[in-house]
Structures are given as structure tokens and as C-alpha cells.
Amino acid sequence: MRGTQTVRDMVLSMAVIGVVVAGIYLFIPHDPSKDPVKQVDYRVELDTARRAAPYPVAAPEGLPKSWRATSVTYDGGNPDGAAWHLGFLDQDNQYVAVEQSNGRPSKFVTKVSQGAEKTGRTQQVGAERWDRYEGPKYDALVLEERGVTTVVTGTASYAQLAKMAATLRLESPGGR
């Protein structure tokens, strides 16, 4: 008789706890339309990178307001080369990042594109021919110039990557 009461009491306790948890869940406000990704202002980091980087730092000008900057870093002390990163979400919430470094191009491209490989095809963006890379997670457009490699990479389509690449403006080290 005692064992049956213990099991019955446990089941009743679990039911009471379930009701309390369900009540708490219902009264805590949830806004599914609210985007958990925080937008960042990258102007200070951009100015800092442009003063410190040994190459012209690229940043977009004239992107639509629907593109939101979500991450920014500059690492001038990296032994593999100074690295600039600027991440965005486009209007479809696809990730697009601008990555630059004066380090070894092959190692840098593999790292920032998360293993994307060169396709042998190119894409014309403005006056430049960018190499196309394709990967399991990210695709990329890569422009190797003397002293700097610029990569536009992410989950977005090549059209969106090209749109970002077309808006990039370079400013020389020291703001010159």
C-alpha cells in the first residue's frame, strides 16, 4: 500500500509542477518577431583599423538600410597577418562578411570561408575580377592584390556577395 501512495504522490507532484511551469511560461512575454541579433555601429573600429592597418581597409558605402552590421573586429597583432572583419545580415537574414588580411592568402581564405574551395570561375564586380569559392557552409568572392587579400563570404547568394563587393571602398593606411 505504501509503494502505491508514493508513486501516486510523485505523479501528482509532477502534475502540479507542470501546471506551475506552464503558467509561468504563459505570463512571461515572448516576442517572436524580435530579432535576437544585435546591430553594431562599426565606425570607430573602421577608423581605428584604417589608421593601424598596413593595407587599405575595405568597408561598404551605400548599402541599403535593410543590411545590418552585426560584428566587427580588427586584429593588428595576429602573427599570421593583420586581419579586418566586418559582418552583416542582408535583408533576407543571410550572413555576408568582409574579411581582409595581409597574411598568406591560401590560409586566410580557407579560414574565413570555412573551407570553401576555388571553383576556377570568376565574377566581374565593377572593374575587378573576383575568384569564386564554394564551400559546404559559406561561398566566397576573393580578390588577391599585392599586399592584401579581400574576401566577401557568407551564406548569401553570389549575387548578394557581389552586391557587397561592389559597395566596398578602400581607404589607405593612416586615412590617406
- What are 11-52's pLDDT values in tens digits? 889 999 999 898 888 888 766 666 677 889 999 999 999 999
Q: What is the mean pLDDT of residues 139-164?
A: 96
Q: Report, as an integer, the average pLDDT of 102-131.
A: 95
Q: How far apart are CA 50 and CA 58, in angstroms?
A: 9
Find, among 129, 136, 142, the residue nearest to 114 by Cα.
136
Residue corresponding to grid cell 535593410: 66
Name the phi and psi angles at 84, rounded to 5. -115, 135
* Confidence at 176, pLDDT banded by 50, 70, 90: very low
pTM above 0.85, yes or no: no
Q: Which three cell numbers stand for residue 110?
A: 580557407
Q: Which residue has the higher pLDDT, 4 or 69?
A: 69
Cell 566581374, located at residue: 124
Cell 592568402, residue located: 105
Do residues 71 and 40 lie in contact, with contact meaning Cβ atoms separated by under 8 Å? yes
- Note the pLDDT tens digit of each residue in 74-92: 999 888 899 999 999 999 9
Contacts of residue 82, Cβ cutoff 8 Å, sequence gap at least 6? 52, 53, 54, 55, 74, 75, 76, 101, 102, 103
DSSP sequence for 137-171 = S-EEEEEEETTEEEEEEESS-HHHHHHHHHHEEEE
Answer whether 71's CB lies under 8 Å from 85's CB.
yes
Cβ atoms of 147 and 159 within 8 Å: the answer is: no
Predicted confidence band of residue 98 (pLDDT cuts 50, 70, 90)? very high
CA distance 130 to 112: 16
| Count of C-beta atoms within a 10 Å radius of residue 65 | 6
pLDDT of 100 strictly over 90? yes
